[in-house]
């Protein structure tokens, strides 16, 4: 990827056959995208086309773009619970081609590693991160409130917060 002069260049390391093969075997969605390939067919074809798939992914990362054909989704209506004749009880889902899922996983891994390695993600960023959960966020908040109470600082009082803290049982009064 070229440097645009802002000092925030992300180097995307090339993909290799082993990584692509592992990612392909990890796919569980059997829905065929706009290309019509279901998972079984895709996995059989991928075993013969692995070098081509890796080459295409690496060229895309090198040039900083993704083929437009991988961005086209098949939209399917999925019923929620309720009256099936009422359209408000249906939700649309987008089914992308299986190859786009490989692109997505590889790019996500590289971007996530870059953001983590270079300190762009704060320690208090709990959502959508490995080894971080809402339990960690709750504990962080409880620790901050306990610290504020110990120091005699003001603490925002909320019924929702009090009930949640009481249920967790970390301290007695807010």
Give the integer Cα–Cα distance in Å for 33 and 21.
Answer: 20
Which of 139 and 172 is assigned the larger pLDDT?
139
Tally the C-alpha atoms within 13 A of residue 60's C-alpha that lie toward its C-beta. 20
**pLDDT of amino acid 164:** 53
What percent of the chain stands above pLDDT 70? 83
Asked if the model's pLDDT at residue 5 lies above 60, the reply is no
Return the domain boundaries, the chain.
17-117, 134-168
Quick one: pLDDT at residue 27? 85
Residue 40: what pLDDT? 87
Residue 165 CA: distances (Å) to CA of 38, 125, 138, 157, 159: 47, 20, 9, 11, 10
Q: Does residue 159 surpass a pLDDT of 70? A: no
Query: Given pLDDT bands bounded at 50, 70 and 90, which one contains residue 22?
Result: very high
Looking at residue 161, its pLDDT comes to 54
DSSP secondary structure of 87-104:
GGGEEEEEE--HHHHHHH
pTM summary value: 0.67
The average pLDDT across 62-70 equals: 88
User: Could you tell me which residue, 54 or 10, shows the higher pLDDT?
Assistant: 54
Quick one: pLDDT band at residue 59, thresholds 50, 70, 90?
very high
Q: Is the pLDDT of residue 84 over 80?
A: no
User: Exposed/middle/buried for 137, CB within 10 Å: 0-12, 13-18, 19+?
Assistant: middle
Identify the weakest region by mean pLDDT among 76-85, 116-125, 160-169.
Answer: 160-169
Confidence class for position 156, pLDDT limits 50, 70, 90: low
Q: What is the CB neighbour count within 10 angstroms for residue 115?
A: 14
- Residues 29-49 have a mean pLDDT of 85
Q: Which residue has the higher pLDDT, 62 or 174?
A: 62
């Amino acid at each position: 990827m070229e440097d645009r002069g802002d000092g925030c260049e992300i180097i995307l390391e090339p993909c290799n056959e082993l990584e692509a093969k592992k990612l392909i075997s990890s796919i569980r969605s059997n829905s065929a995208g706009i290309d019509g390939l279901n998972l079984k067919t895709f996995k059989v074809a991928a075993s013969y086309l692995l070098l081509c798939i890796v080459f295409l992914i690496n060229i895309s990362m090198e040039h900083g773009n993704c083929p437009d054909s991988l961005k086209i989704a098949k939209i399917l209506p999925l019923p929620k619970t309720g009256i099936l004749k009422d359209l408000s009880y249906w939700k649309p889902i987008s089914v992308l081609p299986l190859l786009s899922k490989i692109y997505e996983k590889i790019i996500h891994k590289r971007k996530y590693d870059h953001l983590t390695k270079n300190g762009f993600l704060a320690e208090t960023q709990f959502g959508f991160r490995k080894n971080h959960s809402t339990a960690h966020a709750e504990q962080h908040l409880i620790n901050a409130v306990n610290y504020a109470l110990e120091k005699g600082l003001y603490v925002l009082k909320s019924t929702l917060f009090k009930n949640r803290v009481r249920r967790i049982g970390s301290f007695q009064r807010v």
